[in-house]
Chain A
Amino acid sequence: MADEMKLAAYICKGCGLADRLDIGQLKQIAEREGKAKIVREHDFLCNSEGVGMITKDIEGEGVNHIVIAACSRRAKIEAFNFDKVAVNRTNLREGVIWSQPDTDEARELTQDMADDYVRMGCAEVVKMQIPTANPNAGSNKRILVVGGGISGMTSALEAAKAGYEVLLVEKTGALGGMVAKLHKRVPDLEPFKEPADTQIDDMIKAVNENSKIKVYLNSRITKTSGAPGQFSVNISQESGGTQTENVGAIVQASGFTQFDASKLERYGFGRSKDVVDQMGLEELAKAANGGVIKRPSDGKEVKSVVFLQCTGQRSPKEGELSYCSGHCCNTSIKQAMYFKDANPEVDAMVLYTDLRTPGNGEDFYRSAQKKGVTFTKGWPKEVTADLHLKFKDVILNDEVEVQPDLVVLATGMVPNSGVDVEASGGAPNLGGDDDDAATVAGEGDAGISVLNLTYRQGKDLPHLRHGFSDSHFICFPYETRRTGIYACGPVRRPMDISQAVEDATGAAMKAIQAVENAAQGRAAHPRSGDLSFPSFRKEGCTQCKRCTVECPFGAIDEDENRYPKFNEGRCRRCGTCMGACPVRVISFENYSVDTVGSQLKAVDMPDEFSEKPRILVLACENDAYPALDMAGMSRTKYSPFVRVIPVRCLGSVNTIWVSDAMNSGYDSVLLMGCKRGDDYQCHFVRGSEIAGVRMSKIGDTLQTLNLEPERVQTYEIAITDADRVAQLIDDAAQMVEKIGMSPFKF
């Protein structure tokens, strides 16, 4: 920032603050210790007049760093939302008067708290700079869509419809993907009774005729580098040529491969020509084209057909799929209709364990029954070479044997999700169990990289479960771990056509958003709009690689000299790199080792005999800090000895903060972050986890200071844990009382 810093502090007297606190004293502290040039109080700071007062100083007095000592940073956001100004929200309401008893005895300690928070606020804000967006922002707004199936074509068309240029890359010689191989599709419109035309040809036509869409056939992505707004991709054609194209964001719609039915010999596949999988049946149906379907072995008209559901899926067997592919029940129902519609006399039976036809699929199910398709709940045992099907009828509790003309196996979807970067080194695997992913590797396209990212952390999107490139977040289905790259369709999750179309549209939306944000150098979700970005002092760097390895988003590569290379566009501003750096050379303009470090040092540390211990809480701004707010709102009381500092993510917590805290006399430090493990809730993926690992090592540091290890604790906090956070703070206070004050108070 060119113009020199001017700090102003504004202290609110509303919501009972003036009744509970000595406002004069707070002003003095802001002025004398906080070195604020301007200090003002106001009865009702968040009303138009109060805000007007602040704006006036910003405009008139050139104030550019301000401390607002009032309510929590989570309250009155709209009122205190100033541009181009560094703001600290000193939380005197939820964090002080609402969490402390309103009694004369409590007055002194409550005031101590407020005093410290004002000191901390001033200390932080002077270390903050006003973020100036990413200087290396890329402004390419073209969308790359990988995969020319119905998902990919949908993304392409929808993006084009919104006015964006699109590059569509398909590995085969034709668009259409799996859907093009279907005779008909499951209906997606009222009355949901009859198989519908796929209309895939119209779609292909629309893509080919769209001037905004450039199509590459017989092509693969052989190299992807860069960041949102400035990706560079190499597209290599079978013919040999390779083009380099620039795009702003990527939609990966690489689809799925049918599970290899030859692994299902027990169901007769391979033993008999007349055992086919669902795609095989589509071929027969296409050939029959509305007429009676003939069986492969001898071309005889099929008079009886049995559909076996969940073959090789929902299976505990090694090498088979443990999940459900979701679409297969409706697909078999549709295929049974092929037979009934051509000849009502054909016997068509669906053998199922749970019939899964959600939503309006129920109408489709009923329609099939009306057509005379029969449904039997049971488990297939075996299909012999001469098509004897043995199964258990679980309703009649009966072992049954039938001999249909044709057997159709509902096998599952295997995602074409490329290489499993977590299994193949790169980042530590946090996707939880990946049982099938390994086993299905080698299936179709799995194992062959789709994107060939040049990222330090591997060539493809990390997998979540079973090899699918899904988001881990229920509320954020497109929360990707590779900024600007969004998976959709069956590569993301098993799904049917209707869902794939919705998904592809959503992914196109996110891709568009990514290029728009990138162009303005802004962060994407969850810190969307954040203009800050990480920078580092090369001189100090020891090339330890912790930052490049630990970044949850693969934002940091290594340059030719093995120094970290930050790709700001990919960065999500969690600060995990900052927390990782042992030499503390990484920082953000408005969030750094200093902004936090100076806060914790600003606290007035009473001496060892004062009976006033100090407990530092580093709280995740997303869950733990709101939980503390909730405690305040419900007037849950907790120890007045606590001092809370919100952090972007526990991943950003640098161990130096903890050792500094201990050195400067804190009696205890509590780290409060999100749930970790398989069902982790950390929106920066593994910040909380990493913090856990780092803190497990802090023990040694404490040893050398010869302090008890229990003085430092790491907790997983849910946002609703209001009572619990208060309890944990009180427990820490008691613990200190038990083991005594820290000797490091000078």
Chain B
Amino acid sequence: MTDVVATNETILVVGGGISGMTAAIEAAECGKNVVLIEKSPALGGRVSQLYKYFPKLCIPTCGLEINVRRLRFNKRIRVLTMAQVSAITGDTGNYTATIKITPRYVNENCTACGACADAVSAEVDNAFNYNMNKTKAVFLPFNMAYPRRYVIDPSIVGTPEGEAAKAACKYDAVDLSMKEETLELKVGAIIWATGWQPYDAAKIQPYGYDRFANVITSVEFERMMDKAGPTGGKILRPSDNKEAKNIAFIQCAGSRDRNHLTHCSRICCMASLKQSTYVGEQYGDDEAAKASIYYIDIRAIDRFEDFYKKVQEDPKVSFIKSKVANITENQENRNPILHGVNTEGYHRYDNEHDLVVLAIGMQPSADITQVTSGVHTDASGFIQVHADNGGIFGAGCASNALDVNRAVQNATAAALRAIQVVNRVSGAEA
């Protein structure tokens, strides 16, 4: 049974992505006690699935490494993975959070030596790679995963495979008898940092994500670039695993659209500008390598404009002011064909590309109104800054469509708001 010490001077942070980690660490480094819970088996969230950040084109793992180190050396933070909040009751300075922990079937004895994984052959969809490939049913979520501890997929528990994994472990780290646990934590303030999820691309019917193999989403494209990803760092067409060189990026895929997400997801323009540089990175000055960005407005705000300018100067990249009307497929080569009109003076096009990347919109990944009442969310489900929210504060992409930098900034602010609550509590009790 997991035992967690928490009082109404403890801050509960829900979500272990970059925002949740930041909120937890910043608060802990101010001397506050924090419980950080994450629903997946490892911390890192969406950023751990990114290849590079805009505009620096630096590697997300770098910042995660620092944060993980800060977090591990800090004895005030308690991390619970595979844990989700199912209910929140109580009031500012005095909440009770019900937390469900799903079994990992591997305990803290795990040394991540990998013997268990070597012992099994069963495979499951690789969620970390958006199910673009498979992984062993006993796996380390990803190379830099923290906790650096293996996970056993429930599908092999109670099968010979499961037993094989258990037998392979010299350190009694495999425990197939683990059951789902439910904890009740008393906490003073709650930071809701559950992040975002990509909008369901299949719903954008004209683009045929569900019909055409070579139409993918921007998050999937990020995974392709990762050496440890499903394509070993190559841009390969799902239809035939051939290199895709002539790539189209479609902006506002789901965003700014009354039929889908009414808000602008803010990051997608910069994400596509960034991804257009991957084409050059991958193919050098290969003539065939091209990136075409179909857009309504390019929203490269503040100094991101510098990056936009740089990309505009790249002869490989072209911009078409147009919301693509629909996509059809070339029956012979499975190439997507984009149909539409460039509205800067009415130019009709039917452009064939090797691969289409949908700059997919951002929506909150967990609905807080499902676990508690009285928290103000906007029409898109993002948590607003509102006095009525009491001691519950949104952080990062749970509070708005934000890029990483702004999400972290916002999470730092949320940490202070939570500290204000627990300081009031301790002040009252002192």
How far is it, in angstroms, between the C-alpha of A718 and the C-alpha of B57 when the chains are bound? 11
In the bound complex, do residue A158 and residue B301 qualify as a contact, i.e. CB atoms below 8 Å apart? no
CB of B329 to closest CB in A, whole Å: 30
In the bound complex, do residue B379 and residue A505 qualify as a contact, i.e. CB atoms below 8 Å apart? no
In the bound complex, do residue B62 and residue A526 qualify as a contact, i.e. CB atoms below 8 Å apart? no
Interface string of A396-431 (1 = CB under 8 A from B): 110000000000000000000000000000000000
Please give, as numbers and ranges, the residues of chain A lying within 8 Å of B26 by CB-CB distance. 509-510, 513
How far is it, in angstroms, between the C-alpha of A528 and the C-alpha of B77 when the chains are bound? 14
How far is it, in angstroms, between the C-alpha of A363 and the C-alpha of B401 when the chains are bound? 14
B353 CB within 8 Å of chain A? no
B234 CB within 8 Å of chain A? no
CB-CB nearest in chain A for B378: A190
In the bound complex, do residue B297 and residue A356 qualify as a contact, i.e. CB atoms below 8 Å apart? yes
How far is it, in angstroms, between the C-alpha of A357 and the C-alpha of B306 when the chains are bound? 18
Please give, as numbers and ranges, the residues of chain A lying within 8 Å of B412 by CB-CB distance. 477-478, 505-506, 509-510
Choice from A163, A397, A474 contacting B344 with Cβ under 8 Å: A397
How far is it, in angstroms, between the C-alpha of A113 and the C-alpha of B46 when the chains are bound? 38
Chain A interface size range: 35 or more
Please give, as numbers and ranges, the residues of chain B lying within 8 Å of A395 by CB-CB distance. 343-345
Please give, as numbers and ranges, the residues of chain A lying within 8 Å of B62 by CB-CB distance. 475, 622-623, 674, 681, 718-719
In the bound complex, do residue B303 and residue A634 qualify as a contact, i.e. CB atoms below 8 Å apart? no
B253 CB within 8 Å of chain A? no
Please give, as numbers and ranges, the residues of chain A lying within 8 Å of B136 by CB-CB distance. none
Interface string of B52-80 (1 = CB under 8 A from A): 01001111111111110110111100000
CB of A544 to closest CB in B, whole Å: 32
How far is it, in angstroms, between the C-alpha of A324 and the C-alpha of B55 when the chains are bound? 15
CB-CB nearest in chain B for A681: B58
In the bound complex, do residue B409 and residue A474 qualify as a contact, i.e. CB atoms below 8 Å apart? no
In the bound complex, do residue B302 and residue A493 qualify as a contact, i.e. CB atoms below 8 Å apart? yes
B35-49 with Cβ < 8 A to chain A: none
B202 CB within 8 Å of chain A? no
A368-409 with Cβ < 8 A to chain B: 377, 394-397
In the bound complex, do residue A512 and residue B413 qualify as a contact, i.e. CB atoms below 8 Å apart? no
A508 CB within 8 Å of chain B? yes
Q: A14-B111, A76-B111, A359-B264 are in contact. Are A475 and B227 (CB under 8 A)?
A: no
How far is it, in angstroms, between the C-alpha of A630 and the C-alpha of B59 when the chains are bound? 15
How far is it, in angstroms, between the C-alpha of A493 and the C-alpha of B306 when the chains are bound? 13
Please give, as numbers and ranges, the residues of chain B lying within 8 Å of A359 by CB-CB distance. 263-264, 266, 400-401
Interface string of B6-49 (1 = CB under 8 A from A): 00000000000010001000100111000000000000000000
How far is it, in angstroms, between the C-alpha of A14 and the C-alpha of B400 when the chains are bound? 47
CB of B338 to closest CB in A, whole Å: 20
Binds B, one of A29-37, A495-503, A638-646: A495-503
Please give, as numbers and ranges, the residues of chain B lying within 8 Å of A2 by CB-CB distance. none
Binds B, one of A341-349, A465-473, A582-590: A465-473
B63-117 with Cβ < 8 A to chain A: 63-67, 69-70, 72-75, 109, 111-113
Choice from B69, B299, B408 contacting A354 with Cβ under 8 Å: B299
Residue of B66, B112, B171 with most chain A CB atoms under a 10 A cut-off: B66
B133 CB within 8 Å of chain A? no
How far is it, in angstroms, between the C-alpha of A593 and the C-alpha of B228 when the chains are bound? 37
Dominant SS at the B interface? Answer: loop
How far is it, in angstroms, between the C-alpha of A455 and the C-alpha of B263 when the chains are bound? 46
Q: A76-B111, A513-B30, A720-B227 are in contact. Are A526 and B70 (CB under 8 A)?
A: yes
In the bound complex, do residue B61 and residue A75 qualify as a contact, i.e. CB atoms below 8 Å apart? no
CB of A402 to closest CB in B, whole Å: 20
B148 CB within 8 Å of chain A? yes
Please give, as numbers and ranges, the residues of chain B lying within 8 Å of A322 by CB-CB distance. 305-306, 309
How far is it, in angstroms, between the C-alpha of A200 and the C-alpha of B217 when the chains are bound? 43
In the bound complex, do residue B66 and residue A526 qualify as a contact, i.e. CB atoms below 8 Å apart? yes
B141-184 with Cβ < 8 A to chain A: 143-144, 148, 170-171
A326 CB within 8 Å of chain B? yes
CB of A622 to closest CB in B, whole Å: 6
How far is it, in angstroms, between the C-alpha of A623 and the C-alpha of B228 when the chains are bound? 17
How far is it, in angstroms, between the C-alpha of A471 and the C-alpha of B109 when the chains are bound? 40
How far is it, in angstroms, between the C-alpha of A89 and the C-alpha of B427 when the chains are bound? 41
B405 CB within 8 Å of chain A? yes
B406 CB within 8 Å of chain A? yes
Please give, as numbers and ranges, the residues of chain A lying within 8 Å of B376 by CB-CB distance. 190
CB-CB nearest in chain A for B61: A719
A16 CB within 8 Å of chain B? yes
A633 CB within 8 Å of chain B? yes
Please give, as numbers and ranges, the residues of chain A lying within 8 Å of B31 by CB-CB distance. 516
How far is it, in angstroms, between the C-alpha of A473 and the C-alpha of B412 when the chains are bound? 14
How far is it, in angstroms, between the C-alpha of A517 and the C-alpha of B299 when the chains are bound? 39
How far is it, in angstroms, between the C-alpha of A505 and the C-alpha of B410 when the chains are bound? 8
In the bound complex, do residue A506 and residue B263 qualify as a contact, i.e. CB atoms below 8 Å apart? no
B215 CB within 8 Å of chain A? no
B360-419 with Cβ < 8 A to chain A: 376, 378-380, 384-386, 400-401, 404-406, 408-410, 412-413, 415-417, 419
A679 CB within 8 Å of chain B? yes
Please give, as numbers and ranges, the residues of chain B lying within 8 Å of A121 by CB-CB distance. none
In the bound complex, do residue B419 and residue A46 qualify as a contact, i.e. CB atoms below 8 Å apart? no
Residue of B62, B67, B266 with most chain A CB atoms under a 10 A cut-off: B62
In the bound complex, do residue B345 and residue A357 qualify as a contact, i.e. CB atoms below 8 Å apart? no
How far is it, in angstroms, between the C-alpha of A475 and the C-alpha of B412 when the chains are bound? 11
Please give, as numbers and ranges, the residues of chain B lying within 8 Å of A722 by CB-CB distance. 143, 227
Please give, as numbers and ranges, the residues of chain A lying within 8 Å of B408 by CB-CB distance. 474-477
Choice from B299, B343, B413 contacting A358 with Cβ under 8 Å: B299
CB-CB nearest in chain A for B345: A397
Please give, as numbers and ranges, the residues of chain B lying within 8 Å of A493 by CB-CB distance. 302-303
A325 CB within 8 Å of chain B? yes
In the bound complex, do residue B297 and residue A477 qualify as a contact, i.e. CB atoms below 8 Å apart? no
In the bound complex, do residue A162 and residue B379 qualify as a contact, i.e. CB atoms below 8 Å apart? no
How far is it, in angstroms, between the C-alpha of A161 and the C-alpha of B65 when the chains are bound? 32
Q: A475-B408, A502-B413, A512-B416 are in contact. Are A77 and B67 (CB under 8 A)?
A: no
Choice from B306, B309, B404, B420 contacting A475 with Cβ under 8 Å: B404
Choice from A326, A363, A506, A681 contacting B409 with Cβ under 8 Å: A506
B256 CB within 8 Å of chain A? yes
CB of A251 to closest CB in B, whole Å: 12
Choice from B75, B227, B420 contacting A162 with Cβ under 8 Å: B420
In the bound complex, do residue A679 and residue B58 qualify as a contact, i.e. CB atoms below 8 Å apart? yes
In the bound complex, do residue B66 and residue A475 qualify as a contact, i.e. CB atoms below 8 Å apart? yes
Choice from A188, A679, A720 contacting B56 with Cβ under 8 Å: A679
In the bound complex, do residue A474 and residue B404 qualify as a contact, i.e. CB atoms below 8 Å apart? yes
CB of A86 to closest CB in B, whole Å: 15
In the bound complex, do residue A466 and residue B303 qualify as a contact, i.e. CB atoms below 8 Å apart? yes
In the bound complex, do residue B264 and residue A358 qualify as a contact, i.e. CB atoms below 8 Å apart? yes
A675 CB within 8 Å of chain B? yes
A282 CB within 8 Å of chain B? no
Q: A191-B379, A474-B404 are in contact. Are A719 and B65 (CB under 8 A)?
A: yes
Choice from B109, B113, B226 contacting A47 with Cβ under 8 Å: B109
How far is it, in angstroms, between the C-alpha of A478 and the C-alpha of B404 when the chains are bound? 13
CB of B143 to closest CB in A, whole Å: 5
Please give, as numbers and ranges, the residues of chain B lying within 8 Å of A239 by CB-CB distance. none
B320 CB within 8 Å of chain A? no
B300 CB within 8 Å of chain A? yes
CB of A463 to closest CB in B, whole Å: 12
B124 CB within 8 Å of chain A? no
For this complex, 14 residue pairs linking A to B, each with C-beta atoms less than 8 Å apart, are A14-B170, A47-B171, A188-B385, A322-B305, A325-B302, A359-B266, A359-B401, A474-B408, A503-B409, A506-B413, A510-B26, A528-B29, A719-B144, A720-B226
6 smallest CB-CB distances across A and B, nearest first, come from A475-B63, A505-B413, A506-B412, A509-B416, A397-B345, A358-B266
Binding site for B on A (CB under 8 A): 14-16, 44, 46-47, 71, 75-78, 81, 158, 161-163, 188-192, 314, 322-326, 354-363, 377, 394-397, 465-466, 468, 470, 472-478, 493-495, 499, 501-503, 505-506, 508-510, 512-513, 516-517, 525-526, 528-529, 622-623, 626, 630, 633-634, 674-675, 679, 681, 683, 718-720, 722-723
Apart from A14-B113, A477-B412, list 8 A-B contacts with CB within 8 A: A75-B148, A81-B72, A161-B420, A314-B305, A493-B303, A509-B416, A526-B66, A722-B227
